[in-house]
Amino acid sequence: MSSSRLAATLLALFALAAAAPAAASAGTVTKTVPAQYVFVHGQNPADPGNCSAIVFAQWTDVPGTISALARYTGLVDAAWGEQTESRPAPFDDTYKWVATYTVPAGSHWIQIGKGWRDGPGVDDCADMSAKQPALYRAPVNVDLTIQESAGCVSAHRKADKATASIATLQKKLKQASRRRRAAVKKQLSSAKRDLKKAQKDVTTRCP
């Protein structure tokens, strides 16, 4: 192949690469959801006098969540203050501390408080668990970090593109001659339909 033909081929390849659309890359979003305090207690199956009382922040599952941060008000050293606990997925859904605790299906846990006892008799820490609610105040919320899908990113891009097209066409419509107005109106209607579809996709594909 001659140098001139090689140069032309390379230029064509570069042009095709520049014209190809970039693949949508997924990002993350943060969503705050309400949670509730859960107070549980249990006994070491191998030692009847060894027990624990655990406090969890519990929230309903949101698909795609990769980490969570619980925000709550607790009593520490006789003073109330906002406190936080964070965990990556799978959070504290199966939590082992003297006994094993498993979150109900469809929900997640972050452990935010605990106590334990080990004595010669039989104990399940029920009395300790009964006192723990006095150490916490409502509300409790959880900030979720959610992985966006490529489909969600694509839907957002299409919505942004349609919004920009509508703004441009509205300006053109104001400046268009009588002959051009019908064509611009048709383009504007099409862009509005595209925006409506993209917004629907955002609703269905994004957290």
Q: Which residue spans within the chain are E strands per DSSP? A: 28-44, 47-60, 65-76, 79-88, 94-97, 99-102, 107-118, 136-147
- Contact status, residue 8 vs residue 16, Cβ threshold 8 Å: no
- Contact status, residue 93 vs residue 165, Cβ threshold 8 Å: no
For the segment 153-177, what is each residue's pLDDT rounded down to a tens digit?
778 888 898 899 999 989 988 888 8
Residue 18's pLDDT is 34
Q: What is the mean pLDDT of the chain?
A: 85
The amino acid present at 67, given as its one-letter code, is S
Question: Do you find a cis peptide bond into 34, omega within 30 degrees of 0?
Answer: no
**Would you state the structure tokens that stand for residue 77, as one six-digit string?**
């050293």
Average pLDDT estimate for 33-45: 97
Is residue 11's pLDDT more than 80? no
Q: How distant is the alpha carbon of residue 32 from its chain centre? A: 8
Residue 19's pLDDT is 31
Which residue, 56, 132, 126, 43, is CA-closest to 93?
A: 56
H-helix segments, 78-133: 126-131
How does residue 207 score in pLDDT terms, banded at 50, 70 and 90?
Answer: low
Quick check: pTM over 0.75? no
For the segment 97-113, what is each residue's pLDDT rounded down to a tens digit?
999 999 999 999 999 99
